[in-house]
Amino acid sequence: MPEPIRLTIDGRSVEVEPGTLVIEAARRVGIKIPSFCYYEGLSLAGACRMCLVEVEKMPKLQTACTLAAAPGMVVRTDTPQVAEARRAMVEFLLTNHPLDCPVCDKGGECELQDMAFRYGAAESRYREAKHHVPEQQWSPVVYYDRPRCILCYRCVRVCDEGMGVGALGVVNRGGRSEIAPNRGDHLECDECGACIDICPVGALTSGMYRYHTRPWEMAHIGTICAFCADGCKTTLGVYHNRIIRGNNRDRSGLNGEFLCIKGRYAADFPHHAERLSSPLVRRDGRLVRATWAEALALVESRFREALASGAPIGIIGSNHTTNEENYYLQKLARQGLRTPHLDHPRTGDLPALMAAVAGREAALARIEDLYAARAVLVAGADLAQQHPLLSWQIRANWRHHQARVYVVSCGPVREDRYAARSVRVAAGRELEGILGLEESLRTEPELVVVFGEAIQGEQVARLVAFGDSLGIPVKYVCLVDYANSRGAADMGLLPDLGPGYQPLERSGMALDEMLECADLAVLWIVGANPLAGGVRPPARFLVVQDLFLTDTARRADVVLPAASAYEKEGTVTNVCGEVQRLRGAVSVAGAKTDLEIFTLLARRLGLETGPVTWEKLLDEISSSVPGYQVSAAALRAGVPQQVRPPRQASPSRRGKVRSARDTLFTSGTLGRYAAILSAVREAPGELYRG
């Protein structure tokens, strides 16, 4: 470690590492220096001049955001000269800024408003006509209002550096400067909305939120995004029981300020017009509305018949239900309904990885490892499309730490642009591509390997053996598709493995086998849509539990309306095995949480007595599932808890692994019900084109 530097800020002595900026050094001791253009993690702009401070022996005021701390430096942020400079800067920024705060979306959470309040003058001396430019719509997501813009370049930098997209620029000069989109009058980009959330004023606003409500009228509920498996925290803004927006402006959670279009704007699906609001039962070939009592009685009777006759029952679980629900479902299936036929649509070969790294405490990478590791290998995945947070982390790692990035894929990916090496292989030959990198990888001090479904089965064991042979610490991430795909496998929604990948004495049918089995008395499909475009499975009775009348639900005998992830409490586990807490944001009339439906059925079948809560189930999971010893208190406080690989684990020998290969703008069946995802028209990533 280099010698720390000591400097004085407002009479307080501060010790920082060499290279620390004065603005950061001040923050360290609780002195807030105002700024617009400075944004931690992005390149320096020195554009807004809000952060001017006095430095002894320097003749003029200095911008604290571009000034590196030096030994013995004496900085003052509280002098009359600094206060005057700030007042002048705010006045200058307000010369052409419209005073439309009462109708501006940003009003109440606007940095310019806050700074005018704190540092600004009460009166403006500007008497000229303001330069007006009409508002522009650049995409279904992004709107730009030039007069409000203070040209801090945050949006330009976050898009270029953070996202690696570079869809925004600044055109013209001086007072006529404005932000411009990359396609003349519109944007072609990830539509993530990072530019909107990072905007310190109301210049960039979102199609989803604009003119809907005021920030202080909403409840703000921090939960975990319901779409991909990265597990981003999103703070849902709820007004009158409707989700109006998602954001992560407070940079909390494992994703910092990152969110993609799904986390920010796809949270409207709970309120979709086609949302099921009552159970449906099939009468005379048609699905008709029924009461919960009728529907549950019907399901109960079919289960009772099957149990009495010994006919097999099949259960397909979900990639979206909570860990507690998944755990309870497998218990209900195996102990209550005494059936081994349990599976879920598998999107990555987690059991194979767990078996290969069983007992190794440090074998699984966390989201933050992708930002910290000296080298990262991405194999068989277009992260920018499928796992945008991982892509963001790796890009930031490269920008801030010059991490070396290796890519093995069958088509171009965003990481190519800065990869130390990119290897193109034919689809299915990814492992060979990785083995070919041996010489380079051997020279790295450490490595994180991120692999997609292209590597599965015994190839995973070969990959881990290869990692071992490198003689460096290697961590792994096995990519899976959805919000709790990891949790579904961890909780044992598998035909031959119980919770924690423990082998079962009696293995059951895998998903595909169940869909073809004519002997099944009941097939119960929870939150999954395996019959998309297909035919009805030959099971005698089909129960489907879901949010919408999906392709699968249409073929059911009984449909039970379930609550979404944004309507329930519990925990989910992300692609890196980090357990986080879901918080209910809204309630939708008619729907019940999956857990409630499970317990209602269990009670009817005489299998459950007394109340079942997610907290109790989490306690049970944490004391009984190998690797899941997580602290419920920490989860409640919003700290992600990474689970460990079990001491012993088995690969799954039944069933198939298939990724849905979603893009930024699709997300399996759920994605179809998020209006914004189908409203944008961007081409998906190169890897999935054509």
Partner 1 sequence: MKFSEQTEAKLARLVESYPPDHRRSALVPMLLFIQDEVGAVTPQVVEEVCARLGISPLEVEEVVSYYSMLRREPAGRYHIQICTNISCMLVGGAELFEHACRKLGIGNHGVTEDGMFSLEEVECIGACCWGPALQVNYDYHHHVTPEAFDRLIEQLRGNGLKQRGT
Q: Given the rule CB under 8 A, which residues bind partner 1? A: 166-173, 180-182
How many whole angstroms separate alpha carbon 495 and alpha carbon 28? 53
The residue among 172 and 623 lying less far from partner 1, judged by its C-beta, is 172
Considering beta carbons, is residue 168 or 483 the nearer one to partner 1?
Answer: 168
Q: Which is nearer to partner 1, 167 or 455 (CB)?
A: 167
Exposed, middle or buried by CB within 10 Å (0-12, 13-18, 19+), for 127? exposed
Closer to partner 1 by Cβ: residue 177 or 624: 177
- Minimum Å distance from CB 160 to partner 1? 10
Closer CB to partner 1, residue 203 or residue 315?
Answer: 203
Query: C-beta of 145: minimal distance to partner 1 in Å?
Result: 19
Closest separation in Å from C-beta 159 to partner 1: 10
Nearer to partner 1, 57 or 173 (CB): 173
CA distance 86 to 119: 6
Q: How far is the CB of 167 from partner 1 (least distance, A)?
A: 7
DSSP H helical ranges for 246-377:
261-265, 292-309, 323-331, 350-356, 367-372
Q: CA-to-CA distance for 80 and 93, rounded, in angstroms? A: 20
Q: Compute the least distance from the CB of residue 178 to partner 1, in Å.
A: 9
**Pairing of β 474-478 and β 447-451:** parallel
Shortest Cβ 126–partner 1 spacing (Å): 24
Nearest approach, Cβ of residue 42 and partner 1 (Å) = 18
Number of neighbouring beta carbons within 10 Å of residue 286: 8
**Residue type at 16?**
V
8 Å CB contact between 643 and 630: yes
d(CA 561, CA 546): 5
Q: In the chain, what are the helix, strand and coil shares in percent, each to the nearest 5?
A: 30, 20, 50
As measured in angstroms, the least distance from the Cβ of 547 to partner 1 is 40
C-beta of 150 vs 649, nearer to partner 1: 150
**DSSP letter string over 19-78?**
T-BHHHHHHHTT-PPP-SS--TTSPP---S-TTEEEETT-SS-EETTTPBP-TT-EEESS
Q: Which of 418, 466 has the CB closer to partner 1?
A: 418
Smallest separation (angstroms) from partner 1 to the CB of 187? 10
One DSSP character per residue, 339-408 reads ---EE--B-S-HHHHHHHTTT-TT-B--HHHHHH-SEEEEES--HHHH-HHHHHHHHHHHHHH--EEEEE
> Of 162 and 181, which has the nearer Cβ to partner 1?
181
